Amino acid sequence: MFIIILLIILLVIIIANIKIVPQSKTYVIERLGSYSSSWNNGLHVKIPFIDRIANNVSLKEKVRDFPPQPVITKDNVTMQIDTVVYFQITDPKLYTYGVENPINAIENLTATTLRNIIGDLELDETLTSRDLINAKMCTILDEATDPWGIKINRVEVKNIIPPRDIQEAMEKQMRAERERREKILQAEGEKKSSILIAEGEKESAILRAEAQKESQIKLAEGEAEAILKVRQAEADGIKLLKDAKADKSVLTLKSFEAFEKVANGQATKIIIPSDIQNIAGTLAAASELIKKD
């Protein structure tokens, strides 16, 4: 009976000392108080009462958002800056035995490093040099945490909070800058509008001048055509007189009709030249000449 109880106790102890290490985990094993080994994922058995698990270390990347830290810039402006640190444990042994409370150590190291970097920058440089601050902090922290078995992957400046009066001054500056840009855009718009209006007026004047030119050309062509038609009508009339073999009396009558047209119904008197007969004779002679032609 005693042997059975002893076997049961022994079996329980053996089962209790069988450990399965999951993926991305490492167990740090101490034997009689000294570091013995690091167990990676898989099945492991430790010696009862001799071996013990000193630390259960996760190899996943960790993120720590540290609270804002007061820092002073080169031009003596105090501001609050909080950072986010991304790190990973690469050596479980060094992480276990390298430093007491590694997370607290990283936080303090981040604060002191941040103060040193910001102390060399002025306010404007601090607000516009986040990438530079991140790169410097990552390099310095990574070198400092190597003895602790920690790899700093990256550091990000999350917030930069300047004093209230500085914020108000910055807001006024931003407002003035926006107003200046607005005025510039408005002036450029008015300039473009004036240019477009001037170009439109220029094109309109050109079109009006071309239209007036075309109108004058058409008018001149019409007058020329009218003169040609009048001359043609006169020539046709003389030809008709010639074809009709008009005598001197007919020509004299036509002369009277011409004088009547000259009066155009407006004059009350028509002065007939004394040599009207001579004019009729001249017209008769012209008729004879046309006939000969």
Cβ atoms of 72 and 115 within 8 Å: the answer is: yes
Work out the average pLDDT over 267-277. Answer: 51
pTM confidence score: 0.56
Backbone angles phi, psi at 155, to 5 degrees: -130, 135
Cβ atoms of 89 and 24 within 8 Å: the answer is: no
pLDDT of residue 267 exceeding 70, the answer is no
Confidence of residue 62 (pLDDT cuts 50, 70, 90): very high
Per DSSP, helices labelled H in 119-163 are 123-128, 130-145
For residue 212, the model assigns a pLDDT of 86
Tokens of residue 222, six digits: 């019409």
Q: Where do the DSSP E strands lie in 46-149?
A: 51-58, 62-65, 69-72, 78-89
Work out the average pLDDT over 110-135. Answer: 88
pLDDT of residue 53 exceeding 80, the answer is yes
pLDDT per position as a tens digit, 151-196: 999 999 988 888 787 777 777 777 888 888 888 888 888 888 888 8
Task: Map tokens 């500056």 to a residue.
Answer: 173
For residue 255, the model assigns a pLDDT of 56
pLDDT of residue 249 exceeding 70, the answer is no
For residue 94, the model assigns a pLDDT of 92
Distance of alpha carbon 125 from alpha carbon 78, whole angstroms: 14
pLDDT per position as a tens digit, 34-45: 999 999 988 988
Pick the CATH number of 62-162 from 3.40.50.300, 3.30.390.50, 3.30.479.30, 3.40.50.2300: 3.30.479.30
pLDDT averaged over the chain? 80
For residue 237, the model assigns a pLDDT of 67
Lowest mean pLDDT among 25-29, 66-70, 152-156: 66-70
Confidence of residue 143 (pLDDT cuts 50, 70, 90): very high
Distance of alpha carbon 17 from alpha carbon 49, whole angstroms: 10
Confidence of residue 89 (pLDDT cuts 50, 70, 90): very high
For residue 245, the model assigns a pLDDT of 57
pLDDT of residue 84 exceeding 90, the answer is yes
Work out the average pLDDT over 269-280. Answer: 51
Distance of alpha carbon 283 from alpha carbon 5, whole angstroms: 169
pLDDT higher for 233 or 198? Answer: 198
